[in-house]
Structure 1
Amino acid sequence: MRYQSTRGTAPILGFRDVTLTGLASDGGLYVPETWPQFSRDDIAAMADLSYVETAVRVMLPFVGEDLTEDELRALCTQAYGRFSHAAVTPLVQLDHRHFLLELFHGPTLAFKDVALQLLGLLFEKFLAGSAEPLTIVGATSGDTGSAAIDAVAGRHGVDIFMLHPKGRVSDVQRRQMTTVLAPNVHNIALEGASFDDAQALVKAMFNDAGFAGRFRLSAVNSINWARLMAQIVYYFYAAVRLGAPERKVAFAVPTGNFGDVFAGYAAARMGLPVERLIVATNVNDILHRALSSGDYSAGTVTPTAAPSMDIQVSSNFERLLFDAGGRDGGALAAQMRGFEASRAMRLTNAQQTNAAEIFASDRIDAGEMAQAMLWASQSGETIDPHTAIGLAAARRAEVQGPVVTLATAHPAKFRDAVERATGLRPALPARLADLFDREERYDTLPGSFDAVTAYIAERAQPR
């Protein structure tokens, strides 16, 4: 398996190098040169597999010669052994056609754990025996930061610098990052910044030769292909339990950065019978506008009760534009340069037409989100605001067969919003019950390239 950049000029890499690199040197994102293919029999054979064995079966074609099947199995066993549910990502039924796929049973209570627990182990495996340290730089709207920090805290040869917009993540999300006091963990709160601003700083660091050349930079955001690869697994795992390949399954995905739902697109390209991928956005609706009308124009970020979706520039959408537009790296590079200069772009006819074959989208406002939380509670389930946005879109989508809403975070991570909508205040699991008693450590910086790069340069190990 080899990987190419969406912008066409970066070197072709194998799985190990793609994992350690993150963003491509030409500013693009890495994708497989071809999608592995699973037959109906291949998919049917997954019905009785555990989550770990499903993960091995789905991911093995992506790792090439860089991991043996036994090595991959050992990494998956270790990664998912930390989850609190034996099924890792269990399905919960709400009514005759609606299901929740609970992705929050990992150590930091969010779907990011499914990928980042594995990614941390991959970093450690691929760096073994290397004297060159790895500097991870990431931006978070809440959940990526805590999941990535948990995955690499205390690991030898790795420093992590995590940027978050000050005051724009929940108190639980912040504390899950800032109470990890391992010496290789550095939390940075950016003043007056949005997640888009933080993400732009990370991309600028990777693209600045003077800065990037001093360190071995890598990414934990969903720009890193290995993270998306791990997320493909739970689409297969859920679908076969609802009758695939004999019937199609639809998925509703609350999304801001498009990574989680792109993993579903990858599963479909690999042969999984997906009825529809429903992209659910909040009022920061750039993805809904792009998919419904072809208008990919960034506006001003509006803070909401679903902060992980308060995004106006969705990094992973570039992967879909590349695949749906005929995999023309040069054309996409020009298209993205125009967007980066003007923050506005029209999808081509091919991009719109091909995306419409599998994607639907919806925009959910605060009232609709609250109604979905209340409906779920009446069905016996407490859900967080992000999951509620996905469920609201799922309930009014015109699709056939079962619909699975991805439950992306434990409701206790957003307890104030849940209580306002339902009257219920969810408690943190026992392992995090003392979170608000733990010491915090983070630094506050202005959201400027010079301030952030100076901070990192002072603390990171040079290559």
Structure 2
Amino acid sequence: MNYFSTNNPNHKVALKEAVIKGLAPDQGLYMPETIPVLPAEFFTRLSSLSFREMGYEIVGALFSEDLTPGQIHELVDHTLIFDAPLVQVEDGLFSLELFHGPTLAFKDFGARFCSKLMSMLQDKRELKVLVATSGDTGSAVANGFYGVDGVEVIILYPSGKVSDLQEKQFTTLGGNVRALEVAGVFDDCQQMVKKAFLDPDLNSRMLLTSANSINIARWIPQCLYYFYAWSRLPLSDKKAVFAVPSGNFGNLAAGILAERMGLPIAGFVAATNINKVVPDYLNGAPFAAKPSLQTISNSMDVGNPSNFYRLLALFDNDESLLKEMVKGYFYTNEQTREAMRAVKRDTGYIMDPHGAIAYLGLKDFMQTEPGEYQGVFLETAHPGKFRNVVEETLDLELPLPERLQAFLMREKKAEKMANDYQAFKNYLLRS
């Protein structure tokens, strides 16, 4: 299958180039030229399949033109090594827990898939994987690629704007993983990475790629857990709706990809913090990137979400269809904290600040047509990754899983860097 640029549908490349390059030369994101629609009979037996069994068929539908059946099985087996349980929180309302992987965040799915697929496709040249992170991407990619032969990972993150635990997960590994602490915000880090990909001088000297959600190998596998969650919902005549805590919007776009492949999802909720350029757009304003603002849900502190253009591409750039399928809501820090308190008090369930925003969006959406929906909100990270916020908000001591506790004991290794592209380029040329 070929992949086209969101900035120019006539620019098309094969899978290997789309994955290894990550970003199109015109700064567009790659999209599959065709989206396969799975047969109706697949959905009738979906609830009887294991996560891996459905993964073989979904990944096969997407990649069978480029990968052998053996490679598809190897790819799925490497990716789906942990569960994504659906937990009932309230009547008709469920949490999809995506934090049971190695770094306890949803991005473990995409990072493992991406590292394996890159190792299948790359030639013998060493790859430099450049990653901008607002939190969880860095830890997932660092751990997903750690120790992979022929790959060096360089992670850029905004100084003082990720949680201590998130920072430790990608600054303490060493080996083939390096961290750059940038004096700026996430959007600055993302812009530096994009400039590097488009720099002809750099690209003539080294092989650069990305493992952010701009890369299809990170983005596409996130569709898998939407199929899994839908298959585990109780049988009901009610329509299914998914609420996604959104920052760079890759996760929401992956859910829409699942729907485009035939998954019976009636609608999506794009839930954000006060970095609300997409909710504003969905509610009638022009799309306008803005400087990001710092919040307690820091992984969503994105003012210029790259995957917005994937959202449009999934609907053939028909804004009315996008706005019909996706509804946007945003919430303040205090609204987020109050939701965390209320759910803990009423149900005993502990949400992280990102999941709490998705919960709020889901509740508000479901109230527009009471009794019509079963709702799923995505819990994208273990509450322990935002321990300070959770403990302060809920006035409790939160025990950390052993995997997280181990990271806190390690020594941080990061190089400070100015918010300056030339400084970043010089670093790459020296490394």
Q: TM-score over 0.5 for the alignment? A: yes
Query: In the alignment, is the contact (CA less than 8 A) between 2:107 and 2:140 conserved in 1?
Result: yes
Q: 2:216 is matched by which residue type in structure 1? A: W
Partner of 1:362: 329
- Matched residue, 2:355: 387
Q: Distance in 1 between matches of 2:149 and 2:289?
A: 39
Q: Distance in 2 between matches of 1:384 and 1:178?
A: 22
CA distance in 1, matches of 2:118, 2:47: 30
| Kept after mapping to 2: 8 A contact 1:161/1:456 | no
Q: Which residue of 1 aligns with 2:102?
A: 107
CA distances 1:347-370 after superposition (whole Å, capped 9, x unpaired): xxx42x111221001011112111
Residue 90 and residue 457 in structure 1: after superposition, are their counterparts in 2 closer, same or farther (change >3 A)?
A: same
The number of residue pairs the alignment matches comes to: 426
Partner of 1:371: 338
1:432 and 1:388 map into 2 onto residues whose CA distance is 21
Could you list the runs of 5+ residues in structure 1 that have no partner in the other structure? 328-349
Percent identity of equivalent pairs? 36
Name whichever of 400-409 and 34-43 sits farther off: 34-43
Determine if contact 1:138/1:221 at 8 Å carries over to the other structure: yes
Q: Return the alpha-carbon distance in structure 2 between the equivalents of residues 92 and 388 of structure 1.
A: 14
* 1:383 partner letter: M
Say if 1:64 and 1:16 are closer, same or farther in 2 by CA, change over 3 A: farther
2:182 to 190, 196, 201: 190
Answer yes or no: is 1:410 the counterpart of 2:382: yes
Q: CA RMSD in A?
A: 1.6
Partner of 1:321: 312
Q: 2:160 aligns with which of 167, 175, 182?
A: 167
The letter for the 1-side match of 2:86 is: L
Are the aligned partners of 2:38 and 2:61 in contact in 1 as well (CA < 8 Å)?
no
The residue type equivalent to 2:91 in the other structure is: H
1:176 CA displacement: 0.5
Any idea what SS the aligned residue of 1:26 has? coil
- What is the Cα deviation at residue 313 of structure 1? 0.2
- Whether the 8 Å contact between 1:102 and 1:406 is mirrored in structure 2 is yes
Matches within 5 A, 1:47-446: 47-81=47-81, 83=82, 88-127=83-122, 130-182=123-175, 184-191=176-183, 193-242=184-233, 248-324=239-315, 326=316, 350-351=318-319, 353-378=320-345, 379-397=347-365, 398-399=368-369, 400-446=372-418
After superposition, what is the alpha-carbon deviation per residue over 1:278-301, rounded to whole angstroms, capped at 9, x for unaligned?
000101111111111132122332
Contact 1:445 1:451 in 2 (8 A): yes
CA distance change for structure 1 residues 95 and 4 in 2, over 3 Å: closer, same or farther?
A: same
Counterpart secondary structure, 1:19: helix
The 8 Å contact of residues 252 and 394 in structure 1, kept in 2 or not, is answered as: yes
TM-score, scaled to structure 1 = 0.89
**Secondary structure in structure 2 of the residue aligned to 1:235:** helix
**What secondary structure is seen at the aligned counterpart in 2 of 1:94?**
strand
| Equivalent AA in structure 2 for residue 142 of structure 1 | G
CA displacement 1:264-321 (0-9 Å, x = unmatched)? 1111111111111000010111111111113212233211101111110000001122
Give, as a single letter, the amino acid of the residue that structure 1 aligns with 2:147: G
| AA matched with 2:414 | Y
Distance in 2, matches of 1:276 and 1:56, equals 26
Contact 2:156 2:189 in 1 (8 A): yes
Q: Distance in 1 between matches of 2:352 and 2:410?
A: 24
Report the more deviating stretch, 378-387 or 421-430: 421-430
Q: Tell me the SS of whatever aligns to 1:173.
A: helix
- SS of 2:155 mapped into structure 1: strand
Report the alpha carbon displacement of residue 244 of structure 1 after superposing the two structures with TM.
Answer: 7.6
